[in-house]
Structure 1
Amino acid sequence: MAQTHSKSRQTAEIAFANTQSQFFARNSAVEELDSLVLAREEKTRRLREARLAKELNDREAATASLLARRAKSV
């Protein structure tokens, strides 16, 4: 059964619906930005770990090379 409301009530209902849709759209945008930030932080963490592992490997290789040269010269 359809209810008929006054013109001011209808206007208020429309204004409220618009406000709510803006609120939910804003929340959706904030959630999307949050997920992008989390993805970027995760990628940064993975890249940092890979870089540190490579630097450690390079350092160990350089140390081994120096030790091998030193052993040859002695």
Structure 2
Amino acid sequence: MSQTHSKSRQQAEIAFGDAQTQFFARNSAVEELDSLVRAREEKTLRLREARMAKEEHDRTAATASLLAKRAKIR
């Protein structure tokens, strides 16, 4: 049994389908952007931690070098 709808109902159904398609496309784009932002933030955090570890290592090495020079002088 097929249902026949008025022309205005058919137009409304088509418009609703288009709106849903746009809504889901926008949500997909937003999710993709969120994923990119998360990946960028994670990379930034990893790089910051690596830089801080290197700076700490460099400070420790410089301190050890200065202590060794002082020990030689005395």
Compute the RMSD of aligned alpha carbons: 0.9
TM-score normalised by length of structure 1: 0.94
Tell me the secondary structure at the aligned position of residue 2 of structure 1.
coil
Partner of 1:2: 2
| 2:42 is the alignment partner of 1:42 | yes
Aligned residues: 74
Matches within 5 A, 1:1-74: 1-74=1-74
Deviation of residue 19 (structure 1)?
0.5
What is the one-letter code of the residue matched to 1:20?
Answer: Q
Deviations 1:11-63 (A, max 9, x none): 11000000011011111111111111111000000100000000000000000
Tell me the secondary structure at the aligned position of residue 54 of structure 1.
helix
What is the one-letter code of the residue matched to 1:42?
Answer: E
TM-score normalised by length of structure 2: 0.94
User: Residues of 1 paired with 2:2 and 2:66: CA distance?
Assistant: 88
User: Residues of 2 paired with 1:7 and 1:64: CA distance?
Assistant: 85
